[in-house]
Amino acid sequence: MTEPPVKRRKVEGLEASTIATAEDTQTQDDEVIAPTSGLEARPSFANALTQMKDPEASGDAGDSEGGANLWARPEISDFDKTNDAIVFQHLEIQDSDTDPTLKIFGVTQKGHSVLVHITGFHPYFYILAPQGFQTSDVLYLKTYLNKQLANQPVFNISVVSKRDIMGYKGEAEQDFVKVEIRGMGWVELPGSSCTVVDKKASHCQLEVSIAWDKVAAYSSTNDATKTVPLRILSFDIETAVRGDIFPHSDHDQVFQISSMVTTPGTSDPFIRNVFTVGECDPIDGAQVLSFDTEAKMLVAWRDFVREVDPDVITGFNISFFDLPFIFGRAKKCKIWDFGDLGRLKGIPSPRPKTEWFDDPSMPRGRRSVTETPVAGRVVMDMWQYIRREFKFDMSKKEYQLESLSGRFLGDGKEGLSFRDITPLFHKGPDGRAKLAVYCLKDSYLSLQLMRRLNAFECCSQMANVTGVPLSWILSHGQPMKVLSLLLSEAGQGNYVIPTLKKPIETLEERYRDPHFGFYTTPPCGRNYWKWAPEDGGLSSNDVVTSLTTKLPNRAKAVIANNICYSTHIGKAVADELGLAENKNYVRMPNNELCVKADIRQGVLPQVIERLVLTGEQTERVRYELGLFDQKISNGVRLAWDICANAVYDFAVSDKLPCLPLLHSRATGTGAQKSKGHAGR
């Protein structure tokens, strides 16, 4: 992905001496960008904040102003830690560097945050057993491997029967050696199997430990009607500006941090505040917290985040600027425990990781990527999301917050030039209040973009479809998601997948937009949240058929021809098994052969069909229960559409190539043969 354009407050005209992470990748908003055609002059955001004001708040910015009394999550009550089951939606999974323990973070339907330590699971892999390998050889192999490797890592070896996914050789299974090494769905933990952790390692409300084989998971279809009051925090920072020098955390302090907290499906944030250095006039509808020094402000904001305990942190360009900058300032101010901004205790402030890779679309052919992890929380940068989902013209500054807000919201940033930020801050309480409104507006726009584009729901659907953690949707490319799908389906068919020929994804593949290659017309041109018929609402049948009929032709081709690693067969093996062409197998345009589905159904077709079936079931349940929403429906459709394309792309890549698809016109023949398939 390209390095994001910097917000308007950043400085125009980077010089050669600026920091490396900004080189060639940052563009600046000099003056306020002209609003989208038809957009009238906007009133100050201060008026909107007044309308959001809690009617029970006192008129002089009392305790409940800006949701000051709503920071904490609801308390846990009437919970029997011995008998009560814990049911929650998991959001984030982390493994351990020291032992085979998984940490799963989630939220219950009552809004309680949960951390689960899953113990006892030993990672494993399979190797093909040589001919003549006996059970008596297991002990010898284990001893040999432990001598060759450090720390006696081999825990157990067993012989199991599996199918090799590469090629059809009849239905006979082969012996494999299973080697165990120490090392956005719903989950239920039986109360009798859980152990409540008294000395908690996290800031979560509930922390338990449980054996891996006691965890029960539920499919996304069964949970189509369930909603969880997740907390989404949007924040923005305002920094000092030194002339025309790009802000750097080693030299430029943070003046203000604005924060807004909401839950999915709501329009206005229930918490609205700004942390500022120096005295600041009150702002109607928002809480103002003033501090003598930057260090005190940063510590207070960290404590605020810990108390609010957000599940998702969002904003505009936060992955590349705000988060790295604020962690850098914490280090500069010697706040060594600022890493507690996440959910795990005792985590030192993370070091932002910046890497470079080649990208011909950039001015000098290079692009930088910066990651700043926040333990246990999902970071969802709206610039990053929009850059992946919509194809606009970066040279025309169409990815900047002002332009995107005008396009999608009919709104925009406060009318303030970046050159006014530092002088306005030094004007005293009145100037800081004006700057605070500007900062609050940026946080608000990020939330409104998330809501308008249905971004969180789309990412949640994609996580459910592919079976990867929510944070991976933005931080990993399509190959990782497809491999997760393939492993899941292959496991159900008792297949094993060979070691990939190349790494599952490179840094470039993680951040290059995975969608642009799939559409001749980009999603933004299709206006995908408004594709419903003009003459009224959709029926249940319309909802279902819309998913299947819009399946890409090349994905239909995979199904129509039963193309897969597992159905690929050589001519000699086909003759040996007595299989006849056209009756038992089909010949691809590149002369590769695939057995028909009545002989063996391929894994790749099953993956694509499962994507469609799950989408149909989810949307039918939502529609029949009156929960159907056109934007969510289109988010679901887009997720399945992208995944179906990605399955094909993965199969023709050099990571795990499927020979029948290579250099083949299978998509053309498949489209002809699958005309009747789309409606089934």
CATH number at residue 202: 2.40.50.730
Residue 627's pLDDT band, with cuts at 50, 70 and 90, is low
Residue 21 is encoded by which pair of tokens? 């992470």
Residue 360's pLDDT band, with cuts at 50, 70 and 90, is low
Q: How far apart are CA 343 and CA 310, in angstroms?
A: 9
Same domain as 498, residue 412:
no
The predicted pLDDT at position 243 comes to: 76
Same domain as 338, residue 270:
yes
| Domain that includes residue 103, residue range | 86-121+184-218
Q: Which amino acid is at 261?
A: V
Residue 471 is assigned to a structural domain of this protein: no
Most confident of 16-25, 214-223, 513-522: 214-223
Angle formed by the axes of helices 553-560 and 666-673, to 10°?
Answer: 80
Of the two residues 457 and 268, the one the predictor is more confident about is 268
Q: How far apart are CA 399 and CA 487, in angstroms?
A: 36
Contact criterion met (CB below 8 Å) for 184 and 470: yes
Residue 654 is assigned to a structural domain of this protein: yes
Q: How far apart are CA 610 and CA 498, in angstroms?
A: 23
The predicted pLDDT at position 282 comes to: 95
In this structure, what DSSP letter does residue 671 have? H
CATH number, domain with residue 421: 3.30.420.10
Of the two residues 377 and 148, the one the predictor is more confident about is 377
Residue 626 is assigned to a structural domain of this protein: yes
The predicted pLDDT at position 680 comes to: 29
- Percent of the chain residues past pLDDT 70, beyond the cut: 69
> What φ, ψ does residue 457 adopt, rounded to 5°?
-65, -40
Contact criterion met (CB below 8 Å) for 24 and 534: no
Same domain as 141, residue 193:
no
Residue 106 is assigned to a structural domain of this protein: yes
The predicted pLDDT at position 370 comes to: 66
Q: Give the CA diameter of the chain.
A: 89
Q: Which of 168, 193, 218 is the endpoint of a domain?
A: 218
The predicted pLDDT at position 381 comes to: 92
Residue 304 is encoded by which pair of tokens? 């605020």
Residue 523's pLDDT band, with cuts at 50, 70 and 90, is very low
SS3 call for 622: helix
Residue 13 is assigned to a structural domain of this protein: no
Q: How far apart are CA 63 and CA 92, in angstroms?
A: 33
Contact criterion met (CB below 8 Å) for 604 and 647: yes
The predicted pLDDT at position 448 comes to: 94
Same domain as 96, residue 26:
no
Same domain as 158, residue 209:
no
Same domain as 240, residue 143:
no
632: pLDDT strictly greater than 70: no
Same domain as 499, residue 402:
no
**CA 287 distance to own-chain centroid:** 31
Same domain as 255, residue 209:
no
Same domain as 562, residue 481:
yes
Number of domains making up the chain = 4
Residue 325 is assigned to a structural domain of this protein: yes
Q: How far apart are CA 504 and CA 511, in angstroms?
A: 14
Same domain as 142, residue 281:
no
Average pLDDT, the chain: 75
The predicted pLDDT at position 401 comes to: 93
Which of 506, 461, 501 has the alpha carbon at shortest distance from 479?
506
SS3 call for 242: strand
Same domain as 32, residue 134:
no
The predicted pLDDT at position 501 comes to: 61
pLDDT digits (tens, 9 = 90+) for 281-333: 999 999 999 999 999 999 999 999 999 999 999 999 998 899 999 999 999 99
Distance (Å) of CA 405 to CA 247, 414, 444, 591: 24, 11, 11, 52
The predicted pLDDT at position 173 comes to: 56
Which of 83, 56, 10 has the alpha carbon at shortest distance from 322?
10
Q: How far apart are CA 528 and CA 546, in angstroms?
A: 12
Burial grade of 133 (CB within 10 A; 0-12, 13-18, 19 or more) = middle
Residue 263's pLDDT band, with cuts at 50, 70 and 90, is very high
Q: How far apart are CA 348 and CA 354, in angstroms?
A: 18
Residue 382 is encoded by which pair of tokens? 């709206």
In this structure, what DSSP letter does residue 3 have? P
In this structure, what DSSP letter does residue 500 have? P
Same domain as 448, residue 330:
yes
Residue 360 is assigned to a structural domain of this protein: yes
Q: What is the pTM of this model?
A: 0.76
Distance (Å) of CA 415 to CA 321, 430, 442: 22, 16, 12
Cα-Cα-Cα-Cα dihedral sign, residues 292, 298, 383, 44 = negative
The two counts, helices (H) then strands (E), for the chain are 19, 22
Q: What is the 3-state secondary structure (H, E, C) of 297-360?
A: HHHHHHHHHHHHCCCEEEECCHHHHHHHHHHHHHHHCCCCCHHHHCCECCCCCCCCEEEEEECC
Distance (Å) of CA 53 to CA 42, 50, 281, 678: 20, 5, 17, 51
**Dihedral angle over CA of 488, 506, 375, 265, nearest 10:** -70
Residue 560 is assigned to a structural domain of this protein: yes
